[in-house]
Each structure stands twice: as structure tokens, then as C-alpha cells.
């Protein structure tokens, strides 16, 4: 099988083969950010022999050394400055070996869904070929999203950090109500915010750790970023970084 059909995430830098999301994660790894390990089934996979492809996928899965993985799409024009495609393709979390191949197929199928097609038409885009990312699951004690520029006030000196127990996906999908912290970049402190309950989900040090990472990401990419993150056993993981597309 061609070496370009299934690639380690850290080698997935060709957007045409791996899509925007995977290429961005590859950049993060190469820049030294803490990203969950994984691999990518590239856009060439649909033209390869199915049996040898499945064997290669399972081999890469076994080499990860983890039981559960996250399965996500990565389209060529995904996570771009003009259209993030957030929520348009299906994501499968806590996938084990038995369900891996089936969930990858479902991920491909979601790229042809009415939802994805409508999103593309509304922005004069094409869905194009879709790669699939498989990453080790990070079972975060607390996770969330962060915006390097305040998405409502558009104040470039303020970032917004949202946090909740469990998976970042729950915050992104709106299934939980997160804490909301407004962090001032100049003073290095929280200047506003609301808690979802009587107890904050993040310690001050964790807020600053997220803020520092998000500022580094903004500086590295050279534009405002929307970041998914998680703390697991005290370790901060960057799950995804994409441009903020709502600033106008």
C-alpha cells in the first residue's frame, strides 16, 4: 500500500492529502504544542484496496497503544479563515478497535450529508475529498474552548475561556453550560466572567496556562484563533486550533 494512504499525524502536512484540520494539528506538533497522538487516513484511501486499507488502519491503531480514540473528518477547505465547517461533519468519540472501521466510514458519509452540502452551497464552497483523523482520546477532567479575541466585543486585548467538566465536545456542542472567563492579555488576569455553579472549574494557574497557550497559538499562526483544549491528569492538551471566522 502507498505510504501516502495512512500517515502519522506528525507527518500530515500536505493539505491536499490530509485536509485543513489534520495539517493544522501537524503544524502544532511540529511547533512543540502538546497534541494527542494519532494518524490520518488520507484522501487517497478511497482509491485503495479496502482489505489492505483496513489492515493498515488497524496496525496504526494498535501502535497508538490506547483503547479509545476520537474519529474526526478533515476536509481540504476545513478550518479555514473564511469557513470553519465547525459541526458540519460527524465526530465519533470513545471509539474502540471493534468500531473503528465503521466509524471512519460514517465520517466519510457525513461529508456527503445534506447538512454539509447546504453549508457548502451557502458559502459557494465545495466539500471536496475528506480525510479522517484518528487520535488517542483525552479524557479530560476539565475541558473547553478559548478565543484569542473576544468573539462578541471583538476586543483584541481580551480572550474568552470557557470550561466545563468532561469533554471539550460538550462545550462546543452546547450540551453543557460552561464557566466563562474573560482574560485580559495586558494585565494577565481574569477581568470578568460567570460561573456555571458555585465552584470554578479551573484554578487560576490553569486559566493562565490556557491563556499562555492560546496567545502562543495566535502568535504562531498570525491570526485570531478558536482553540479546543483539555486538562488530563494536570497536563494541558491542545485538541484543535482554527481561525475565528466570526470577527468580520
If one looks up domain 6-136 in CATH, what number appears?
3.30.1490.20
Q: What's residue 78's pLDDT? A: 56
CB under 8 Å, gap of 24 or more: what pairs does 148-151 form? 148/214, 148/215, 148/217, 148/218, 148/224, 148/225, 148/226, 148/227, 148/244, 149/218, 149/224, 149/244, 149/247, 150/182, 151/244, 151/246, 151/247
3-state secondary structure (DSSP) of residue 123: coil
**Residue written as cell 478533515?**
74
The one-character DSSP state at 36 is -
3-state secondary structure (DSSP) of residue 10: helix
Q: Which CATH topology does 142-243 take?
A: D-amino Acid Aminotransferase; Chain A, domain 1 (3.30.470)
- Taking the C-alpha atoms of residue 120 and residue 150, their distance in angstroms, rounded to an integer, is 26
CA dihedral 154, 192, 233, 40 (to 10 degrees): -10
Q: How many CB atoms lie within 10 A of CB 173?
A: 11
Q: What's residue 248's pLDDT? A: 64
Whether 6-136 and 142-243 share one fold: the answer is no
Phi, psi of 147 (to 5 degrees): -115, 125
Q: What's residue 209's pLDDT? A: 98
What is the pLDDT tens value at each position of the chain, 248 positions in all? 456 899 999 999 999 899 989 999 999 999 999 999 999 999 998 777 788 999 999 999 999 999 999 999 998 765 445 444 455 578 899 999 999 999 999 988 877 754 545 544 444 445 567 899 999 999 889 999 999 999 999 999 999 999 999 988 889 888 899 999 999 999 999 999 999 998 999 999 999 999 999 999 999 999 999 999 999 999 999 999 999 888 76
Domain residue limits, the chain: 6-136, 142-243
Q: 146 and 169 in contact (C-beta within 8 Å)?
A: no
Q: What's residue 83's pLDDT? A: 43
pTM of this structure: 0.85
How far is CA 91 from each of CA 107, 111, 119, 135, 161, rounded to the nearest angstrom?
7, 11, 17, 12, 23
Q: What's residue 113's pLDDT? A: 53
Amino acid at each position: 500500500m502507498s505510504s501516502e494512504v495512512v500517515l502519522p499525524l506528525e507527518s500530515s502536512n500536505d493539505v491536499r492529502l490530509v485536509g485543513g484540520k489534520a495539517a493544522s494539528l501537524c503544524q502544532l506538533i511540529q511547533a512543540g504544542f502538546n497534541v494527542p497522538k494519532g494518524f490520518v487516513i488520507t484522501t487517497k484511501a478511497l482509491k485503495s484496496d479496502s482489505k489492505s486499507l483496513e489492515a493498515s488502519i488497524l496496525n496504526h491503531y494498535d501502535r497508538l497503544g490506547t483503547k479509545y480514540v476520537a474519529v474526526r473528518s478533515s476536509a481540504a477547505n476545513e478550518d479555514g479563515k473564511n469557513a470553519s465547517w465547525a459541526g458540519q461533519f460527524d465526530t465519533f468519540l470513545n471509539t474502540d478497535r471493534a468500531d473503528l472501521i465503521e466509524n471512519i466510514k460514517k465520517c466519510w458519509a457525513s461529508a456527503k450529508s445534506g447538512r454539509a452540502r447546504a453549508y457548502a452551497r451557502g458559502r459557494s464552497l465545495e466539500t471536496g475529498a475528506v480525510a479522517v483523523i484518528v487520535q488517542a482520546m483525552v479524557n479530560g477532567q476539565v475541558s473547553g474552548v478559548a478565543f484569542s479575541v473576544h468573539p462578541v466585543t471583538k476586543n483584541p486585548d481580551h480572550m474568552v475561556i470557557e470550561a466545563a467538566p468532561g469533554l471539550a465536545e460538550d462545550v462546543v456542542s452546547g450540551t453543557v453550560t460552561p464557566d466563562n472567563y474573560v482574560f485580559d492579555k495586558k494585565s494577565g488576569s481574569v477581568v470578568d466572567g460567570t460561573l456555571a455553579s458555585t465552584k470554578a472549574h479551573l484554578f487560576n494557574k490553569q486559566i493562565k496556562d490556557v491563556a499562555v497557550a492560546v496567545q502562543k497559538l495566535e502568535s504562531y499562526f498570525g491570526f485570531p484563533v478558536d482553540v479546543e483544549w483539555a486538562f488530563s491528569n494536570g497536563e494541558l492538551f491542545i485538541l484543535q486550533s482554527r481561525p475565528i471566522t466570526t470577527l468580520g
